[in-house]
Chains A and B, each alone.
Chain A
Amino acid sequence: MNYLLVNLISWLIFFFGAAFPILIVLRVIGLTGFMKVTRFENYHTFYYNMNPSVKIMLGIVVTVVAALTIWWIGAILTVVVLFTYLTLKNGKSKFITGFFLTMITIIGTTWAFAPYTPYVILQEAFHNTTITGIWTWPSYFTVMGYQKELSIQGLIYGFQISMRFTAISLISLVLVMTSTPSQVLRAINKIGMPVSITFSLVVAMRTIPRIFEYIDTSVKIQYMRGLGSNAPKTIRPFYMLVGAINAIVPVIVFLVRGAKDTAISADTRAFRAYRTRTHMQPVSIGRADKTAIMMSVLAMFVTAMVVIMGFGRAIPYL
């Protein structure tokens, strides 16, 4: 094949892994999409009725299962958790955002592993000495740590690895979307963490959606002031990244100025008056929690069984 064409295609493949997830973030999810999946909304379904401690436990169980079992169990878990997004407030919109976040994780992780993983690892992982190359990189790509060829086994391996993260990230967002910081504070305090540490987590949970909102405003104003005005229209969305980087300092300064008010507001309302706090709604375990605990126990039992049956995280990887 023409040398120039090989180079062009190789660089396109190279950039695909980095640019496509960014494009999904910029064009499909957007900063307001991130805001929606990092913010609590009041509702009444299963997750909302659960005790935050149980939700944290659920997250740990999902992490353990995804880490210990064969990749397709992680994949099944991902699909299950993603479909439970439909039970959330504005479930359809959150399901779509969750779906694209999962896509980003899969593409990003696959591209982070597929070209780099040495053949010897792939041979061990797949219990097969034959590696099927689908694209040969220009020789100088080895400088970046690339293998000689992009292989089907490399892509599959990368995809399988991504299944260790997808379910975990989806279940983590469930905690943020369905628990108020105050509920989380109550839950974490129960396990003895100091109030001042948990309070900083609470403020962070409240602040993260605002960060997306403020960055969004700042970037749009930069667009109005000409950011990307001389670039071709197809490249303009990528200027959002430039704008977001530019926005970091003013957004931080703005938040820090507000943070002082938050500190005053907390301290003038007796925060840290005592080492512990009491709560208006004592932490209780309801029906939803019992169901979740039973499901978690079942999941751990099944995990143990499948690992014993040879479907654990072992070689061969298939």
Chain B
Amino acid sequence: MKAVEIKNLQFFYAGNPDPSIIVDSLIIEDGETVLITGRSGGGKSTLVNCITGIIPHINHGDLEGNVEVYGIKVAETPLSKLSSEVGIVLQNPESQVMNYRVEEEVAFGPENLCLTPEEIRSRVREAVEITGISEIQDRETYTLSGGEMQRVAIAAVLSMRPKLLILDEPTSNIDPEGTAQVFEILKQLKEEKTLIIVEHKVERVLPFVDRIIVVDEGKVFLDIKSHELIHHVDKMLEIGIEVPIHFIYARKNGIDSEDLPTIREKLAEINALPPLHARAPDSNILMKASVKVTADNNKQLVNGSIELQKQHILALMGRNGAGKSTFLKGVMGFLETDLKAEVELVLDGKDISREHIIDRGREIAFVPQNFDLTLISKSVETEVAYSIRKRKIKDYKVRVEEMMDMFSLTEFRDRDPLSLSLGQRRRVAMASAIASGVKIIMLDEPTSGQDYFHKEILGRELIRLKENGFSIIIVTHDARFVYKYADRMVVFDHGEKVLEGLPEEVFLKSGKFSVIPPSDYLLRGYNELLIG
């Protein structure tokens, strides 16, 4: 039976003369598990929206052709009726979850279907069991970790009992532990439902999927069985899609295997293991920070310290709730007033522990995960100039030009920052954060939700900043990014620093703290330090 059948599909967003997606023919069979991947803006979300009915029922535009889900014409069927056939879990569970209690969230859909209380309870019980959230059923949704929240979002869709489940980057905002939990659910669901997973990170979902569809420039670029991926690595790389690194090396060196240990062994034999990433040499300590935070009920939230060397990139890793963000808030003086905090902050030999946020901001910049909240000016130029003018720095115009040039923003100088693309907005936020001449820049989850292409750009920007004299702290769950770009890393667990050192050293032991080494690292072998 066909779960999805698409014929002659074209969709034009209002005001756009070019179609955002063109698909002549695409069939997904009942019970298949399909990965849809591609660069941001390539058309994969548009394709998925045409399947779920978000297009044309919520996102309007010109739709041509026909999309059917289990024989139902999507364009002619109300969303409420489609919801029993197809369910979607969105990328950001925080904006998807709208109820205060977990149980209410899961019951929301069945309640809309006007089912009997007994039937609603039965569906909630079933969804809660599949997703393993019975222990958090009575919790407030805003107290959940990213992984828990995503499982609740999945449960809320499963309670509608859809035959086809679509997950749009279901793990992009959560830690490896949460990711493992989500994939555990998908493993179960694979037996019962048709699954479409939209994901940038091919490596993560490869073990679960039967088929891979690559969408690029609004078209189906590649449609292959998952075991054929190794033969199409070059094409995937060509359009900027992240593929498992061992596949790349296997292809490059003519090794006919998909198994990582086998590939590593053969690479070692021919002396072709990937090179170690260059790390900045040790330099002077620029900042020493020690933060101890206790909640109202005397529960210790964070008790740790870090040292940041000059012109280094230091990565903070650890599972959700490990204390990384609280630690950063302590460093910046952002903590809530009802928390008891003891902070020691020495920067370039000067104790700034007692200084107000305003004064700490002379030396330290912070770019939050929701960086849009920092964009308060009407044009890119005034946004970048904001801190320079507020701090009354001389020659501010020259400085603004330098910053805009450094972040390739000159051509957008008169545009409203909030109207730019995601990557451009992040660059504006970074430029305006560091413009007044800070020494340290801290970034909270800058890799979250970014595709391979944009993460590479971010990585190069950080390297350039480092070369220009800045020292950087990043909080991230992306082990591959850390392995490639960080000079040192620290792992937090239960509020305490548990590991610190070079990424190569830390990844040896980080698995037990839910920091899983990337395949690049695994390909070099666990004993690479000894070899290297």
Interface contact B104-A182, CB-CB below 8 Å: yes
Interface contact A93-B373, CB-CB below 8 Å: no
Interface contact A278-B100, CB-CB below 8 Å: no
A148 at the interface (CB under 8 A from B): no
B124 at the interface (CB under 8 A from A): yes
Given A93-B338, A182-B101, A221-B366: A226 and B390 interface contact (C-beta under 8 Å): yes
A193 at the interface (CB under 8 A from B): no
Given A247-B373, A269-B112, A270-B113: A253 and B418 interface contact (C-beta under 8 Å): yes
Interface contact B386-A225, CB-CB below 8 Å: yes
Chain B residues closer than 8 Å to A203, beta-carbon distance: 98
Instruction: Please name the residue on chain B nearest to A214 by beta carbon.
Output: B373
A87 at the interface (CB under 8 A from B): no
Interface contact A217-B373, CB-CB below 8 Å: yes
A183 to B45, CA, bound (A): 34
Interface contact B111-A280, CB-CB below 8 Å: yes
Chain B residues closer than 8 Å to A247, beta-carbon distance: 373, 376
Interface contact B142-A223, CB-CB below 8 Å: no
Q: Mark B46-74, 1 if CB is under 8 A from A, else 0.
A: 00000011100110000000000000000
A74 to B432, CA, bound (A): 51
Interface contact A263-B109, CB-CB below 8 Å: no
Q: Give, as a whole number of angstroms, the nearest-CB distance from A43 to chain B.
A: 10
A42 to B139, CA, bound (A): 7
Q: Give, as a whole number of angstroms, the nearest-CB distance from A282 to chain B.
A: 6
Partner of B374, one of A250, A260, A276: A250
Interface contact B373-A221, CB-CB below 8 Å: yes
Interface contact B160-A227, CB-CB below 8 Å: no
Partner of A278, one of B98, B117, B376: B117
A118 to B527, CA, bound (A): 87
Instruction: Please name the residue on chain A nearest to B365 by beta carbon.
Output: A224
B26 at the interface (CB under 8 A from A): no
A276 to B54, CA, bound (A): 23
Q: Mark A242-276, 1 if CB is under 8 A from B, else 0.
A: 00001101110110011111111111111111101
A180 to B387, CA, bound (A): 41
A128 at the interface (CB under 8 A from B): no
Chain A residues closer than 8 Å to B58, beta-carbon distance: 260, 263-264, 267
Instruction: Please name the residue on chain A nearest to B417 by beta carbon.
Output: A250
Chain B residues closer than 8 Å to A269, beta-carbon distance: 83, 87, 108-109, 112, 156-157, 160
Partner of A223, one of B53, B156, B361: B361
List residues 101-155 of chain B with CB under 8 A from any CB of chain A.
101, 103-104, 107-117, 120-121, 124, 138-140, 142
Chain B residues closer than 8 Å to A287, beta-carbon distance: none
Chain A residues closer than 8 Å to B139, beta-carbon distance: 42
Instruction: Please name the residue on chain B nearest to A221 by beta carbon.
Output: B374
A93 to B111, CA, bound (A): 35
Pick the interface stretch among B2-10, B88-96, B249-257. Answer: B88-96
Partner of B54, one of A33, A250, A264: A264
Interface contact B361-A226, CB-CB below 8 Å: yes
Chain B residues closer than 8 Å to A209, beta-carbon distance: 142
Given A180-B100, A227-B358: A218 and B113 interface contact (C-beta under 8 Å): no
13 new A-B pairs (CB below 8 Å) besides A217-B334, A218-B376, A280-B107?
A180-B101, A206-B98, A206-B100, A224-B332, A224-B358, A225-B387, A246-B376, A262-B96, A267-B83, A268-B52, A268-B87, A269-B83, A278-B117
12 interchain pairs, CB-CB under 8 A: A181-B100, A221-B366, A221-B368, A224-B360, A233-B356, A264-B88, A267-B80, A268-B86, A269-B108, A270-B84, A274-B114, A280-B107
Interface positions of B (Cβ within 8 A of A) = 52-54, 57-58, 78-84, 86-88, 90, 92, 94-101, 103-104, 107-117, 120-121, 124, 138-140, 142, 156-157, 160, 296, 332, 334, 336-338, 356-362, 364-366, 368, 370, 372-376, 386-387, 389-392, 418, 432-433, 436
Which 6 pairs, one residue from A and one from B, show the smallest C-beta to C-beta distance?
Answer: A226-B390, A273-B80, A224-B361, A269-B109, A258-B95, A261-B95
